[in-house]
Amino acid sequence: MHYQFVDPEREALHNEYFEISFPGDDAPARSLFFISNEENLEEVAAYIVGKYVGNEPEWTLIPHRKRHG
């Protein structure tokens, strides 16, 4: 599985990046940001969640396009 965690503010001007968001009613929203060339980004996100977060029942994958500016 090929991926790299990134800082979204720095990455936004250079590449498309992806956000794994963990919604929660009792806590502030948490997110992980990464780039990847893999075709199935859902599998990459599931792998990252399993490896770094554990049994998180709910998460959403959000693509962020490269900003031009």
Q: The whole model's pTM is what?
A: 0.84
Q: 11 falls in which pLDDT band (50, 70, 90)?
A: confident
Per-residue pLDDT tens for 15-69? 899 999 988 766 666 899 999 999 999 999 999 999 998 877 789 999 998 877 6
Quickly list DSSP for 16-55: -EEEEEE--SSS--EEEEEE---S-HHHHHHHHIIIII-S
Per-residue tokens: 66: 């490269």
Higher pLDDT, 31 or 13: 31
Q: Alpha-carbon distance 47 to 64, whole Å?
A: 19
